[in-house]
Amino acid sequence: MRAAGVNARASFRLFLLIAAIVASCVLTVSCPDQPARAREQWSAQEAWKWYEQHPWLVGFNYIPATAINTTEMWQRETFDPATIEREMALAQGIGLNCARVFVQYLVWENGPEGLNQRLNTFLDIAARHGIKTMLVLFDDCAFGTMTEPFLGKQPDVDPGEYANGWTPSPGPSRVVNQKAWPKLEAYVKDLIGRFSSDQRVLAWDIYNEPGNTSMGNKSLSLLKTVFVWGRQAAPTQPLTVGFWSPQLKDLNEIIFSQSDVISFHLYGGADAMRHKISELKKRGRPLLCTEWMNRPLGSTFANILPIFYQERVGSMFWGLVNGKMQTNYHWGSKAGDPPPRVWQHDIFHGDMTPYDQHEIDLLKEYIRMSPSVPRR
């Protein structure tokens, strides 16, 4: 009986050892890419190291002229690589080196692999033309009457109305409904995780203008959580959210305390831009102005480019080729309004001729001088 007991104990110990090995293998196989821990916010030194690896960043907010919103840009039926190819070649021709591009959550939810394939195609096209991409995952903006994204045929253009078809991502109902968040988490981690070390991706702008379109602090909880999800995906690129409204103090506290690099939106003239840059530089991190250029407000190439050049601030104006979004019209324009004499945004007509050749020449000249942009 004693020998049998010894054998039984030995067999049990062997069983436990084998079980532990098997469990370890299962965990390793099922989660090969899961980081051991979420990465922390970059230090200021890490942020500057990233920034100084790049040329002076001069770029644009991009949506193809053939798309009225991000759903139309990314849906399989209307994804338009031929137009993207032409427009990226146009941007390369004047020296631009980065683009800020919005992604639509609802398209991912409807078919993650399809969206990821199209996103990979887009990144390939942009990179082939020397353009790195900042990807925007969520967005609270809406300009027309539609405040929720939807699949299928998108709205027709209402001539005279600024961005009448633009819709948010994921939309207000999902922002405030935490039961929808597991899918939002999967979306964030899928995109950032898949492209976390991709050299074609410049940065992750994880939430455009949180609190816009009367959302206010309703977006605060999701904003906090998206930073957590983004860091759990352990990207090698920086995470940021653009400061855009001084009134949203609670949201701004999260934006500034969590962003690896400081990004901001400002459509005002030279004095406003100098003041904002001076204020934000106190935070000790690289600055990217990810939305600017509003000609009627004095935000022009002649007024603003010299400031970015002198202060070594990266920038992305809005937008490239005028198309279905009609962002040449002014904010608040209505259907039937005549074309504005002075465009608000965009630098090329739909036929790819310049809106103002002097602007193009000035842009090219500053980019040509960019090796002499002062270091920090």
What string of DSSP letters covers 62-116? E--TT-SSHHHHHSTTT--HHHHHHHHHHHHHTT--EEEEE--HHHHHH-HHHHH
Cα separation, 223 vs 238, whole angstroms: 16
Given this model, what pLDDT does residue 373 score? 61
Whether the per-residue pLDDT at 21 is higher than 50: the answer is: no
CB atoms within 10 A of CB 214: 10
Which region, left, alpha or beta, applies to residue 284 given φ > 0 means left and ψ of -120 to 50 means alpha? left
Contact yes or no for 218/254 (Cβ under 8 A) = no
pLDDT band at 374 (very low <50, low <70, confident <90, very high): low
CA angle 179, 180, 186 (to 5 degrees): 120
pLDDT, one tens digit per residue, over 62-112 is: 999 999 999 999 999 999 999 999 999 999 999 999 999 999 999 999 999
Domain ranges of the chain: 47-372
Is it true that the peptide bond before 170 is cis, omega within 30 degrees of 0? yes
pLDDT band at 372 (very low <50, low <70, confident <90, very high): low
Q: What percent of the chain has pLDDT over 70?
A: 89
Given this model, what pLDDT does residue 36 score? 39
pLDDT, one tens digit per residue, over 237-271 is: 999 999 999 999 999 999 999 999 999 999 999 99
Gyration radius from the chain CA atoms: 24
Average pLDDT value over all residues in the chain = 91
pLDDT band at 371 (very low <50, low <70, confident <90, very high): confident
Q: Please name the residues in contact with 120: beta carbons below 8 A apart, sequence gap of 6 or more.
A: none
The domain covering 47-372 belongs, at the CATH homologous superfamily level, to Glycosidases (3.20.20.80)
- Output the CA–CA distances (angstroms, integers) from residue 374 to 52, 307, 365, 371, in the order listed: 11, 12, 16, 8
Which of 6-10, 154-158, 294-298 is least confident? 6-10
Given this model, what pLDDT does residue 152 score? 98
pLDDT, one tens digit per residue, over 273-316 is: 999 999 999 999 999 999 999 999 999 999 999 999 999 999 99
Cα separation, 281 vs 354, whole angstroms: 34
